Amino acid sequence: MARAVTTRRKIVTTVVAWAVGLLIFFPIYWTILTSFKTEAQAVANPPLFFGFDFTLENYAIVQERSDYMRYLWNSVIIAGGSTILGILIAVPAAWSMAFVPSKRTKDILLWMLSTKMLPAVGVLYPISLLFVQFDLLDTRGGLIVVLMLINLPIIVWMLYTYFREIPGEILEAARMDGAGLRAEILYVLTPMAIPGIASTILLNVILAWNEAFWTLNLTAVNAAPLTAFIASYSSPEGLFYAKLSAASTMAIAPILVMGWFSQKQLVRGLTFGAVK
Amino acid sequence: MSPKTVLRASSALCLCASAALAVTGSAASAQDTTITIATVNNGDMIRMQGYTDLFTEQTGIAVEWVTLEENVLRQRVTTDITTNGGQFDIMTIGMYETPIWGANGWLVPLDNLSEEYNVDDILPAMRNGLSYDGTLYAAPFYGESSMVMYRTDLMEAAGLEMPDGPTWEFIEQAAAAMNDPENEVYGICLRGKPGWGEGGAFITVTANSFGARWFDEDWNAQFDTPEWEQALTFYVNLMNNYGPPGYATNGFNENLSLFQQGHCGMWIDATVAASFVTNPDESSVADSVGFALAPNHEGVDRRANWLWAWALAIPAGTQQADAALQFIEWATSAEYIELVAENEGWANVPPGARTSLYETPEYQEVPFAQMTLDSINAADPTNPTVDPVPYVGIQFVAIPEFAGFATEVSQEFSEVYAGQKSIEEALANAQSLTNDAMEAAGYR
């Protein structure tokens, strides 16, 4: 009897999981499918799932009209740069909050998170003026700093949670053996927290890759990443869905592939603690 | 992982970070003869990008394009201009922004255009709409009005004949005759989508053609007048009876695809749509489309047609005003139009900007050319309504605050279209929110 329930439950869970998975994946699937249609078929009503003329025309047009590699390279540098910079700041910050907490640590953590509650457009003008002042408009350096700051609260929080699960005694033992602060973080803490750090890096790369407010508002030509590439295919007058879908597919492809390859780390890092 | 590996990995990370920061340094440098143009993605603009190599060959000035979605473009260029960001040497802006920005001193006046450019050739309606205090601030790349596009085959089957200048009453009669929802053919497709430039623009011109206006001469909102109620009631009844389902969320592109797939008997919208609906590659009804002037309510001396132009302007902060002016002269010249005609045919040239285009015999043969010109000429942004108004603009009011409250008003109306609100309630809300906004801005 118990076995039957388990089997039934298994089936139900599997079906529900597949349904949820497919539901979440559907927009991506639809975008990819649309990118292979003609403009007229892309807006056909009822929507076409099968039986349309498969065409690579949209990819050819997008390829011809835009310099995809330049946008891709900017996205790689901006997402990678902001992640590296963020990790370099967040690891020591999370270390101090996890292992040397003060009376105000909890408040600082909450305060950091509260900066995420402000809509980005609220600080558009101050940030724009700072960028003009320091000649940072349309530079990758400026965007790296801004995106790092935006994502910093989240990565500090994530790392703090991982570090908290590492017993302080291990670090104490390292100190007893004569390890300095640098050696303690670099050789003892970091290796133990690798799964956590890896998933934090992945999440941060994804967030920075998809960021579409600052990357559109602070760039023009030189530093424009893939978000600007996608935005250039939306049109006020005329059909554009197929070309837009082709551009979107090209923009999400690298991050999608990266996500597939690092799925295991991502799930493990997000669901397990450091020493479990 | 051994300590050495960790050390190696972290030094690699640091190297990457410094490399990333180093690369950014080089990105800031720009050539002296490169101009950057911010623009929207539409057929004519994209076509122009393909010809810029010719401009560079002729002048030695390189051109960089930044193409953005319309609303993002507005936000982006407004921020750039108000913070003196100087990212763009030319901006593509519309008829709404031009007089406001010109008045603020944000744009370089285009008063030293060369003689060969022949500024007098620009259609008077366009020139007026893109000027402030008699000074031209942006050169029209293409212009549009709105008109009725209808299915000649369905009209014939209904036994009706579309006059050149129909009334709303005739439009309703024709919509009823062509309406066949069982076969997914709807009498009429119109914009209902919220947004001042989408459904808001359409209901404003409809109101004009019923004798309504946004403001009286003292900037008091006029939504409590019988004309507004009549216009909105007419629109809602027309669309509820003969429009496609879910019209409250339809904008230009949604209606375009409905019409192209043969789901609409009539569509009243931008004149530039004419080249899309008559293009056999995109449209299944390409060979049976007719055109007429936008309608008016019987006895009202204003038609429901707007006036719009996408124009090129030079922001005041640019360091390359001369090169930018050279580009504008090239891109909006009669020679450029000929260049496009030679390579892509007369139906594909940017319309609505120059008088000489409409005098070209080859262009006169394009089926929608004359109706486009007549529609543009029938639009007068300085005198848009029956009763006098203190503002310029037909489907908009050329004041900076308009985009904000007009979007809210159009949301109120879209709720009526979706059946969530009554006409009276929406008009009352529109009246109070507009008056509040005008009071806050110091007009009243």
Of the pLDDT bands very low, low, confident and very high (cuts 50, 70, 90), residue A258 is confident
- Rounded distance, CA A107 to CA B434, Å? 43
- pLDDT tens digits for range A77-90: 999 999 999 999 99
Judging contacts by C-beta atoms under 8 Å, the chain A residues touching residue B350 are: none
**Residues whose CB falls within 8 Å of the CB of residue A146, separated by 6 or more in sequence, listed in order:** A127, A214, A218
Judging contacts by C-beta atoms under 8 Å, the chain B residues touching residue A135 are: 28
DSSP state of A211: -
Cβ separation A228–B66 shorter than 8 A: yes
Residue B14 has what pLDDT? 41
Structure tokens at B354: 């120059």
- Rounded distance, CA B315 to CA B137, Å? 10
Instruction: Tell whether ipTM is more than 0.85.
Output: no
CB nearest to A239's CB, from B10, B79, B282 = B282
- Rounded distance, CA B157 to CA A203, Å? 61
Backbone torsions φ then ψ of A200, nearest 5 degrees: -65, -45
**Residues whose CB falls within 8 Å of the CB of residue B118, separated by 6 or more in sequence, listed in order:** B334
- pLDDT tens digits for range A33-84: 999 998 878 877 678 887 788 899 999 999 988 899 999 999 999 999 999 9
Cβ separation A233–B25 shorter than 8 A: no
- Rounded distance, CA B262 to CA B284, Å? 7
Per-residue pLDDT of chain B (444 residues; tens, 9 = 90+): 444 444 344 444 444 444 444 444 333 333 468 999 999 888 888 889 999 999 999 999 999 999 988 778 888 888 888 888 889 999 999 999 999 999 999 999 999 899 999 999 999 999 999 999 999 999 999 999 999 999 999 999 999 999 999 999 999 999 999 999 999 999 999 999 999 989 999 999 999 999 999 999 999 999 999 999 999 999 999 999 999 999 999 999 889 989 999 999 999 999 999 988 998 888 899 999 999 999 999 999 999 999 999 999 999 989 899 999 999 999 999 999 999 999 988 988 999 999 999 999 999 999 899 999 999 999 988 899 999 999 989 999 999 899 889 999 999 999 999 999 999 999 999 999 999 999 999 998
A-B Cβ pairs (cutoff 8 Å, strict) = 151
DSSP state of A134: T
Cβ separation A217–B252 shorter than 8 A: no
Pick the CATH number of B146-306+374-440 from 3.55.50.30, 3.40.190.10, 3.30.499.10, 3.30.950.10: 3.40.190.10
- Rounded distance, CA B339 to CA B320, Å? 26
Residue A4 has what pLDDT? 58
Residue A69 has what pLDDT? 94
> Judging by DSSP bridges, how do beta strands B186-189 and B264-270 pair with one another?
parallel
Backbone torsions φ then ψ of B399, nearest 5 degrees: -130, 150
CB nearest to B27's CB, from A139, A191, A239 = A139
What is the residue extent of each domain of chain B?
34-144+308-371, 146-306+374-440
Residue B201 has what pLDDT? 96
Do the Cβ atoms of B269 and B252 come closer than 8 Å? Answer: yes
Helices (H), chain A: 2-34, 39-42, 57-65, 68-99, 105-114, 124-133, 140-164, 168-176, 181-183, 190-192, 194-210, 214-217, 226-231, 241-261, 263-271
Q: How far is A19 from chain B (nearest CA, A)?
A: 28
- Rounded distance, CA A85 to CA B203, Å? 51
Cβ separation B13–A87 shorter than 8 A: yes
- Between A263-271 and A194-210, two packed helices, what is the crossing angle to 10 degrees? 110
Is the peptide bond prior to B226 cis by the omega test (within 30 degrees of 0)? no
Cβ separation B253–A235 shorter than 8 A: yes
Cβ separation B87–A139 shorter than 8 A: no
Do the Cβ atoms of B391 and B398 come closer than 8 Å? Answer: yes
CB nearest to B42's CB, from A88, A187, A235 = A235
- Rounded distance, CA B278 to CA B164, Å? 19
Backbone torsions φ then ψ of B267, nearest 5 degrees: -145, 125
Judging contacts by C-beta atoms under 8 Å, the chain B residues touching residue A233 are: 41
Contacting B residues, span 15-74, partner chain A, CB-CB under 8 Å? 16-17, 20-21, 23-25, 27-28, 30, 36, 38, 40-43, 46, 49, 64, 66-70, 72
Structure tokens at B366: 């394009």
- pLDDT tens digits for range A201-254: 989 999 999 999 999 999 999 999 999 999 989 887 777 889 999 999 999 999
The kind and range of the H/E element at B312 are strand B307-313
Domain B34-144+308-371 has CATH 3.40.190.10: yes
Residue A273 has what pLDDT? 54
Backbone torsions φ then ψ of B180, nearest 5 degrees: -145, 70
Cβ separation B68–A237 shorter than 8 A: no
**Residues whose CB falls within 8 Å of the CB of residue B293, separated by 6 or more in sequence, listed in order:** B147, B148, B164, B165, B166, B303, B305, B371, B374, B375, B378
Do the Cβ atoms of B326 and B312 come closer than 8 Å? Answer: no
User: What Å distances lie between residue B165 and B176, B375, B378, CA to CA?
Assistant: 19, 10, 11
- Rounded distance, CA A162 to CA B165, Å? 73
Domains of chain A: 64-271 (1.10.3720.10)
Cβ separation B24–A77 shorter than 8 A: yes
Judging contacts by C-beta atoms under 8 Å, the chain A residues touching residue B66 are: 220-221, 224, 228, 232
Residue A269 has what pLDDT? 67
Judging contacts by C-beta atoms under 8 Å, the chain A residues touching residue B28 are: 135, 138-139, 222
Do the Cβ atoms of B391 and B216 come closer than 8 Å? Answer: no
Q: How far is A120 from chain B (nearest CA, A)?
A: 13
**Angle formed at CA B297 by CA B291 and CA B298, multiple of 5 degrees:** 105
Judging contacts by C-beta atoms under 8 Å, the chain B residues touching residue A77 are: 20, 23-24
Judging contacts by C-beta atoms under 8 Å, the chain B residues touching residue A190 are: 6, 10
Cβ separation B261–A44 shorter than 8 A: yes
CB nearest to A80's CB, from B16, B40, B261 = B16
Cβ separation A221–B38 shorter than 8 A: no
Cβ separation A128–B88 shorter than 8 A: no
Structure tokens at B334: 């009669």
The kind and range of the H/E element at B274 are helix B273-277
Judging contacts by C-beta atoms under 8 Å, the chain B residues touching residue A221 are: 36, 64, 66
**Residues whose CB falls within 8 Å of the CB of residue B435, separated by 6 or more in sequence, listed in order:** B220, B221, B444
- Rounded distance, CA B205 to CA B385, Å? 9
